[in-house]
Amino acid sequence: MYFKLVFKNIFRHRLRSLLTIVGLVVAILAFGLLQTVVHAWYAGADMASTTRLITRNATSLVFPIPIYYRERIKAVDGVKAVAVSNWFGGIYKDQSFGNFFPQFAVDHDIWFDLYPEFRTRPDELLAWKKDRSGAMVGRQLADQHGFKVGDVIALKGAIFPGTWEFTVRGIFEPRDDTTITRQMYFHWDYLNERMKQLFPKRAEYAGLFIVQIADPGRAAEISRTIDREFKNSLAETLTETEKAFQLGFVAQTETIVMAVRIVSFVVIVIIFAVVANTMAMTARERMAEYATLKALGFGPGFVAGLIGGESVMITVLGGLLGILATFPVAAVFKSLLGSMFPVFQVAPGTVAMQAAAAVGVGVLAGLAPAIRAGRVKIVDGLRYIG
């Protein structure tokens, strides 16, 4: 009987209830999308491995470090492997955002051993290792530009002048939906050889080193050891975990991320005010009814429960519809955003926050009207004119 009364009460004023539910759907949907944007911003850091460290120039990432550092880093206790990585920054077709994608010159022999989250075909990987000017492209990148094995990708060098052509020898797949595969890898040796020919002084340098360690618990200790090794040298190093390295890039846009977070919660505060106003109006209109129920023997708890239950049921209904709408809308956003967010999916934590926000708004919005309804005196309630 209780739930039947609550359900019927919701639709006594259909237009008001419908508008409130629509507002809730929009608010919960907006909250979920904004939180998904924040999650997408941290996608690179979330996929970082605990067994990988990044060693770069301590002054700035734009300054290279000598290639011979690689052997000295390998000699540090606890280090399993070291790989070179150089940001290439070539221009594909034109400088439009849609044609931008990351390109890295790397140690081809061991690169994919360091990144098990990238799935490769043995024959394609072998073909890439044998081809000096070969390239491996990620599945997301291949799908975006239609790259296939055997295609030639021509890049105009920005950091490294000249026209560079790479033959696609393989396409690596992601381990799961959270793995970013929007990048291209080619041989660092090929880049270094061209630099020796064109700009000898720029040869034999690395952008940074990827350091694989055996024990993640020793990450801080190994990092300090590596940096001590090159202290007071012409190119001092800064070694940090891969996640800390990725978060360093996110920190550059921290103000934007914080603004998005704040806006997502402001949306919830606004819809709380809307629902609270709706429930206050509903409670005022039914004071005589609540007094009548009390006169018939129903206790204050039952009367308060009617208005509180109605508030929660409205927000749960609106919240559920908002959550269900988040998934298809997020898929549309992902297709529209293209390469801006290679990983853009609604996380379970976001859904949990949406559900908690819906229930929380319902409970808080109905609390004051419910208390007022439960405390109403029979005589005052019967006399009340809303």
Q: DSSP letters of 223-267? A: HHHHHHHTTTSSS-EEEEEHHHHHHHHHHTTHHHHHHHHHHHHHH
- pLDDT band at residue 383 using 50, 70 and 90 as cut-offs: low
In angstroms, the CA 23 to CA 230 distance is: 59
Query: Radius of gyration of the chain from Cα atoms?
Result: 30
Q: Residue 348: inside a domain, yes or no?
A: yes
Given 190, 207, 235, the domain boundary residue is: 235
User: pLDDT of 252-307, one tens digit each?
Assistant: 666 777 888 898 889 999 999 988 888 888 777 777 777 777 777 778 777 777 78
In angstroms, the CA 308 to CA 280 distance is: 11
Do both 175 and 282 map to the same domain? no
- pLDDT band at residue 124 using 50, 70 and 90 as cut-offs: very high
Residue 300 structural domain? 2-43+253-383
Closest CA to 166 of 246, 227, 245, 108: 108
Given 186, 207, 235, the domain boundary residue is: 235
Do both 220 and 263 map to the same domain? no
In angstroms, the CA 122 to CA 315 distance is: 53
Q: Residue 49: inside a domain, yes or no?
A: no
Do both 107 and 221 map to the same domain? yes
Do both 87 and 37 map to the same domain? no
Specify the higher pLDDT residue, 366 or 6: 366
Q: Residue 114: inside a domain, yes or no?
A: yes
Determine the distance from the C-alpha atom of residue 351 to the mean position of all C-alpha atoms in its chain, rounded to a whole number: 14
Do both 268 and 307 map to the same domain? yes
User: pLDDT of 227-242, one tens digit each?
Assistant: 999 998 989 999 999 8
Tokens 């409970």 locate to 363
CB 381 within 8 A of CB 294: yes
Do both 219 and 335 map to the same domain? no
Q: What is the pLDDT of residue 326?
A: 93
Do both 282 and 213 map to the same domain? no
Q: Residue 231: inside a domain, yes or no?
A: yes
Of 54-68, 104-118, 273-287, 318-332, the least confident: 273-287
Share of the chain above pLDDT 70, in %: 93
- The Cα-based distances of 321 to 2, 10, 26 in angstroms read 23, 16, 9
Q: Residue 245: inside a domain, yes or no?
A: no
Residues 6+ positions from 250 with CB-CB distance below 8 Å: 41, 42, 44, 45, 257
Does the pTM exceed 0.75?
A: no
Q: Residue 53: inside a domain, yes or no?
A: no
pLDDT of residue 113 exceeding 60: yes
In angstroms, the CA 4 to CA 306 distance is: 10
Do both 128 and 268 map to the same domain? no
Do both 105 and 150 map to the same domain? yes
Of 82-96, 162-176, 207-221, 324-338, the least confident: 324-338
Q: What is the mean pLDDT of residues 210-239?
A: 93
Amino acid at 339: S
Indicate the number of domains in the chain: 2
Do both 262 and 228 map to the same domain? no
Do both 195 and 69 map to the same domain? yes
Q: Residue 359: inside a domain, yes or no?
A: yes
Do both 208 and 173 map to the same domain? yes
CB atoms within 10 A of CB 165: 10
Q: What is the pLDDT of residue 294?
A: 76
pLDDT of residue 4 exceeding 90: no
Given 207, 235, 263, the domain boundary residue is: 235
Q: Residue 50: inside a domain, yes or no?
A: no
